[in-house]
Amino acid sequence: MPPLDSGAEEIQGAGSAFSPLPSRPPVVCPSARSVAGLPRVLSVSMDGMELLERRMKPRRPAAEQPEPLTERGAAERRDGKGKPEAGLQQLSEAAALLLLGLFVSAQWALVQLSVHQLLIGGGGGEFSPGRARKHLEHITGVGPRPVGSVENEVLTVNYLLQQVELVRAESAAGPHAITVDVQRPTGSFSIDFLGGFTSYYDRVTNIAVRLEPKTGAQHFMLANCHFDSVANSPGASDDAVSCAVMLEVLHSMANLSTPLRHGVIFLFNGAEENILQASHGFITQHPWAKQVRAFLNLEAAGVGGKEVVFQTGPENPWLVQAYVHAAKHPFASVVGQEVFQSGIIPSDTDFRIYRDFGNIPGIDLAFIENGFIYHTKYDTPDRIHTDSIQRAGDNILAVLKHLVMSEKLADSSEYRHGNMVFFDLLGVVVVAYPARVGTILNYIVTMATFLYLAKKCSLPSNAGGRYVRELAYASCVALLSWFVTLLSVLIVALLVTLIGRSMFWYSHFYTSVCLYGSAAVGKMLLVHTLAKNLYYGRVRRLELGELFFDVSLLLWCCVLVYLTQRGLCSAYVPMLMVAFPLATKLLLSGHFRNRGASLCYAVLYLLGLALPYAHLMFLIWVVFEIFTPIMGRSGTEIPPDVVLASLVTVATILLSSFFMHFIYLARSTKRVLAALGTVFTVMFILVSCGLFFPYSADLASPRPKRVIIQHTTRTFHAVDGSVERMDSGLWINSLDYTGMSHVTPHVPEINDTIRTRCADDLPFCGFPWFLPVKFLVKKNWYLPAPAVSPKSPLEFRLLSKQLTEWGAVKLSFEAKGPSHMSLYLLPQAGASLTGWSFGDGTPQFDLNGEYFIFYSHGLDAPTWNFWLEVQPPPDPSDEKGIISVAISSHYFFGDDRRTPELDSLLRKFPDWAFTSSWVSMYQMYRY
């Protein structure tokens, strides 16, 4: 068998695939020029020996270095007679590691620079962030603003009305007119959120401000914010800052000297945190709503930073075009839109109400950074940078001005059809084009990839489908490496969870990268190293590097085709990840053919990947920026380390796709594997020892543990109305997976001896759930305590019980209590709920046989009256009746919110725990 450096081998260029090592002299074939502009294949063996036979040939010792080609050698090489690897360079392990490390670090630094560069080219000058900040401080200065509180319904409303009157007085001499209407709607609707439930609201508050030319307008843009907050937070970012920005935008637009073509309705809604109630009241009941053609919704899922466009439409691509054209500091992603609308993020905004109940298109913007302190006491004005206010104001003002001067707003239905692909490049510029153009572009890139790979298949050196087989084998190796990597990292995450160190990364994010990232990179590198040395032991490394580049291209192309076929606009991401590497490889094919994997080649190759990788790393940053904080409030049933480890692994797989090329071009990976193994081992030991505590009370960067505590009294009634049992206690819920394990050393009375279990025969387990999240929070504790006695106790009674003509039982009720109540319905076995007075009259969202109705009211609301219609079972139970009805009342503000027992328990909690606490009552009846 001839040696590896025999003249019987062929030259392998960028356009060639594997060719067999012959046992007989080769025949020189005529040169063929690739239609893709790839290099010529110079020789092929006559007997077509299989690749496995070639792998068994002895390799040249690593220490033997190829000699430089002489002029004669170069001529022989061109004629197919020279040594194939003579003069072709290979990357050293150190050079490959250094280049990839510098490349990834530079890309990550660029992403961080982009994220923290809030303003592009300074402020616009028309919007005053100073005045907006004063509004923000006044709104948050009254404290938390839950619906029904004086802070929300009186103090904040009065301040907003006062500021609007000042704007109206200042702009009275101008070309615009301002009309103000305070709406207090009542209504109900069902929504598919948190498993689905029904919402009922009574006299919540909306402040609608209508800005239009003095000659009048027929078509309006709607700008929406909400000034209410959750009961435990000043709500600076969610959403007082948006209302402050809207006040200043109103001031700027009202004082324009040029009349607007269309009008703007600024809606300051006062009941968004009660699951989107006030926006529903406006869009379904306000007379101005009929003139709204499109909307901008200002929201928050974090505190400060950049506001990102994460939802648009439905359809109506002209809205995205308006944002692209007008926004001064663009920040938008269609990927965020499709991820958010998939439902995997447990949140929703008023966008859904305007889209689903108003049938109007819009743009949804939200602050997403620092979600660790979202809905906590740390959401204060000082954490919102003035530049964040400036950029939000500049963008909203510019986009609104553009839209109200646009002819498209008057007849938006004409421009309705179609979607847009949109994404920004590091916050500098937004790229946007119609989805149908994106589909064409995607298939063009797919076809180019197909031609590139098909030409390789058609080369004479690949007769018998040899290249197709090797491409398939290599693809299997890549997929196997991904599967083994994910499985290995998940095992590590489960071990971390089992030893009680879950969420160690919550305050130290980069520790997760060191542990799970090193495990992912190390395992993937190990699999490919074993494949290179064992399975591909007799194959030249330059050929392997070429083959695995093709594998990466093929796999990304498969993702591109799949997403395009699904009609997802996010397909632009794999399109970028195919187009740029393919173009780069074609441009460098001559260099690679003549000089191999030189340092120059490696640098130019990475430069060609810079743009798609920068955007990919930005998307990865967004994913971690959103999902890492969410793990702190995602309930007790989802292991957060499994989720985060999966995200780290997926990010590693995506980033490493075109780096596989370097694994096979490098001479060795031993030192890198050793370094990664060392990092992983050290990190695992440190994590196991509990060195990294999940939570932090550091005011500069707090990472609080969220705990909900209700001091509640529960009363359970029998069918005859008598009290079966009654108890009182402090009901404690942890909002993350660690439960109370870190709290128990500080509060010893909260331990496993007072853990509770769900009573399936009682509505919602027999506890006062404020929202239907019992499927997320199954670990809770019930510490006995004295009964509560609020000044405004819950009053609930049956008004009437009637048998209908069709055999159903109609039950009418009356309830009176605080501003927030929850109603739970549990029909008994064989019975069914056939009608009620909520929504359209048809019961919706049966949660495993239960129904949840969320109720809230503003000031001076009347008694809540409603009815239910139940179809009884054939043999109703005398003990359980036909339906169990429970109602809970929640005291979020005022004197009734606190009790001495509750305050005493709260004082024992450590500083790093953020407790949301209130008083509640739960009453259950059987009928």
Residues carrying an active site annotation:
272
Please give the structure tokens belonging to residue 816.
Answer: 């009176």
Beta strand residue intervals within 426-531, DSSP E: 429-434
If we measure between CA atoms, which residue out of 209, 28, 14 comes closest to residue 665?
A: 14
SS3 call for 174? coil
Buried-state track 433-447, b at ≥16 Cβ within 10 A, e below 16:
bbbeebbebbeebbe
Beta strand residue intervals within 477-571, DSSP E: none
Please state, in angstroms and rounded to a whole number, the distance separating the CA atoms of residues 768 and 854. Answer: 12
Residue by residue, what is the 3-state secondary structure of 326-368? Answer: HCCCCCEEHHHHHHHHCCCCCCCCHHHHHHHCCCCCEEEEEEC
Please state, in angstroms and rounded to a whole number, the distance separating the CA atoms of residues 744 and 731. Answer: 15
Would you call 381 exposed, middle or buried from its count of C-beta atoms within 10 A (0-12, 13-18, 19+)?
Answer: buried
Please state, in angstroms and rounded to a whole number, the distance separating the CA atoms of residues 686 and 682. Answer: 6
Identity (one letter) of the amino acid at 890? H
- Alpha helix positions (H), 531-659: 541-565, 572-595, 599-630, 640-656
Please state, in angstroms and rounded to a whole number, the distance separating the CA atoms of residues 518 and 313. Answer: 41
Please state, in angstroms and rounded to a whole number, the distance separating the CA atoms of residues 1 and 21. Answer: 9
Q: Read off φ and ψ for residue 338, nearest 5 degrees.
A: -75, -30
Please state, in angstroms and rounded to a whole number, the distance separating the CA atoms of residues 347 and 344. Answer: 9
CB atoms within 10 A of CB 850: 23
With beta carbons less than 8 A apart as the criterion, state whether 77 and 67 touch. no
Please give the structure tokens belonging to residue 752.
Answer: 């496993």
Return the percent helix, strand and coil in the chain, to nearest 5.
Answer: 45, 20, 35
Distances (CA, A) of 855 to 75, 203, 817, 866: 86, 11, 10, 12
Q: What is the largest CA-CA distance in the chain?
A: 108
Give me the sign of the Cα torsion angle 142, 146, 149, 152: positive
CB atoms within 10 A of CB 51: 19
With beta carbons less than 8 A apart as the criterion, state whether 24 and 43 touch. no
**Cis preceding-peptide flag for 239 (omega within 30 of 0):** yes
Beta strand residue intervals within 125-165, DSSP E: none
**C-alpha neighbours within 13 Å on the C-beta side of residue 813:** 21
Please state, in angstroms and rounded to a whole number, the distance separating the CA atoms of residues 527 and 337. Answer: 36
